[in-house]
Structure 1
Amino acid sequence: MEPAELRRAIAAGRTAAAELGLQVDDAIVVQNSDRLALRLIPCDVLARVAPSGHLTGSEFEVEVARRLTDVDAPVAELDPRVEPRVHVRDTFAVSLWTYYEPVGPPEIAPADYADVFLRHHAALRRIELDAPHCTDRVAMALKAVNDREQSPELPDHDRDFLSSTLSGLGAAIGIDGAGDQLLHGEPHPGNLLNTRKGPLFVDLGTACRGPIEFDLAHAPEEVGEHYAGADHGLIHRCRALNWAMFSAWRWRRDDQLPDRAHWRVEGLRRVGAALDRCGPN
């Protein structure tokens, strides 16, 4: 968020928590991108603050968290002291979560990462949730790539490269849906916290349906080797697809990821490297 919007978002997060009876003397920015994560103290709440245009996504994330908590999934929980819903303040959607103090090294060992994946996927199979298919997200990325108004600075040769990668891999992954299930959607290392309760997944608003390999492709490569029954060829294809989507978002005119210029170049490089790992079709 830009500085002016950031100040308003911080105020909205603090106000929402204080009006619900939580003591807020200060707010520490944990993450600032298109959404804001704040640690509110001394009540020790993690406030997730999003522009009002993200209201539906924030409500979806709260619903996913609520249902997964009911089946004891390894996920971050909403703060139990307030009603589990999104609170609108100013022009922002605010949700309040339990704050987990990180413990030990941030890196999760591959075997432990795979174990928490297995438990999370098992929990996801136990809940009913209307969620999009992962290929719907691919279609959105493809639209951003093919629409020059959305991605005006994307060079033509890179546009063609991303377009063919997204359309080809997206179609291939969507052909056989027999093994599809509800997924986390973006369970990369930044969304798996090492806490006193063990590893916990966060950022639950990306839940979607698809093959478990789509989730595994977000994790370090060694993780898939510890996940029984995973299709390693499909993991490689999903990893290339994920990097292609990541790259598509970086070229959007309104993207706000920090160090976007670096990631525009690096993202394209990683798409090519991931495609090389896929081998011949």
Structure 2
Amino acid sequence: MTVLYGEGRSAMRVSELPCAVAAARAAAASLGLAADEAVVLHDSNKLTLRLLPCDVVARVAPVADQVARLEVELAQRLTEMGSPVAALAPRVTPDVHERDGFVVTLWTYCEPAVPPEVPPAAYADALARLHAGMRQLDVPAPHFTVRVDRAQRLLADRDRTPALAEADRRLLDGTLGRLRRAIGERDTAEQLLHGEPHPGNLLATESGPLFVDLETCCRGPVEFDLAHAPDDVAEHCADIDRDLLHDCRLLVLAMITTWRWDRHDRLPNGRRLAGEWLGRLREASAEVR
């Protein structure tokens, strides 16, 4: 199972795009960077732009929906340690810029590698090096179970999830509760994690794989992070609890399935994916009985 979608990864509203682009260009201009052109690289909960001719990457989000200062702090400290994360833009002071209701952060543009896929062994190595760097940081971060709580609150809110059948609602809630207890009862070391190191948050660059989107960081067992990666990545990981990884994979699957039933979710083909994932969870539930 490869998990590609995290919590609330719906695209920025179309009406917000021109203002978000203008905010990014204005932030760059205030630092003396020429940003005559903005090329959209990715549109999710954050808008990612390549600004030209200064050739830096701008990440833009509404003020209310971001934890940019933590992300900037983590990126700066992890880069200094040589961890495989995208670096902040050179020649400017690392900071968070607020413009017209948006926050803008500026990053180094990295040429994509050819081919663009990261091989499983390189993926596993990059994640292990990221975790090694994160173990050296003492920063406040929520426990991964906070996300389980949010998912269960969403399931309890029938106004937010009106299309979800009651049997499937019970299945999701029961799966989340059961796996949260099972994972919590294990005597497992926990540390700072990326939170969502799925393939969409790993760039294949000419200088090697680099993780992005550090705003999802949380605390928990490394198996929770590994649960977001393609299955064959785990084959290259030593010293992991395979049973715990299995439980974490099912837990993450139940969470991302829940997000797809939120009536505000705008992920393309989200409901089709939710139906497929519910089928997997039904099979897993039947095996437990």
Compute the TM-score of the two structures, normalised by the length of structure 2: 0.90
Alignment of 1:266-281 (within 5 A): 266-272=276-282, 275=284, 280=288
- Pick closer, same or farther for the CA change 1:47–1:280 going to 2, 3 Å: same
Contact 2:171 2:282 in 1 (8 A): no
Q: What does residue 96 of structure 1 align with?
A: 106
2:32 paired with 1:7: no
Q: What does residue 162 of structure 2 align with?
A: 152
Which of 185, 189, 196 is matched with 1:175 structurally?
185
2:223 paired with 1:207: no
Q: After the TM superposition, which segments of 4 or more aligned residues of structure 1 sit over 3 Å from their partners? A: 269-273, 278-281
Q: Which amino acid aligns with 1:136?
A: V
1:44-89 alpha-carbon deviations (Å, 9 max, x no partner): 111111111124x222211221221222111001112222121111
Alignment of 1:24-173 (within 5 A): 24-55=35-66, 57-173=67-183
2:264 paired with 1:254: yes
Separation in 1 of the partners of 2:277 and 2:71? 26
Name the stretch that deviates more: 148-157 or 34-43.
148-157
Q: Which amino acid aligns with 1:115?
A: D
Separation in 1 of the partners of 2:255 and 2:131? 23
SS of 2:262's partner is: coil
Which of 213, 223, 226 is matched with 2:236 structurally?
226
1:137-188 alpha-carbon deviations (Å, 9 max, x no partner): 1111111111113322222122111111111112221223541111111111
Contact 1:182 1:209 in 2 (8 A): yes
For structure 2, list consecutive stretches of 5 or more residues without a partner in the other structure: 1-11
1:186-211 alpha-carbon deviations (Å, 9 max, x no partner): 11111111112211111111111111
Q: Identify the structure with bigger relative contact order (alpha carbons < 8 Å, sequence gap 6+).
A: 2
Q: Which amino acid aligns with 1:174?
A: G
* Number of residue equivalences: 278
2:205 paired with 1:195: yes
Quote how far apart the aligned CAs of 1:262 are: 2.8
- Pick closer, same or farther for the CA change 1:81–1:271 going to 2, 3 Å: farther
Separation in 2 of the partners of 1:269 and 1:23? 50
Which of 233, 236, 247 is matched with 1:237 structurally?
247
Separation in 2 of the partners of 1:58 and 1:150? 27
Contact 1:34 1:256 in 2 (8 A): no
For structure 1, list consecutive stretches of 5 or more residues without a partner in the other structure: none
Compute the TM-score of the two structures, normalised by the length of structure 1: 0.92
Identity of aligned residues (%): 52
- Pick closer, same or farther for the CA change 1:271–1:10 going to 2, 3 Å: farther
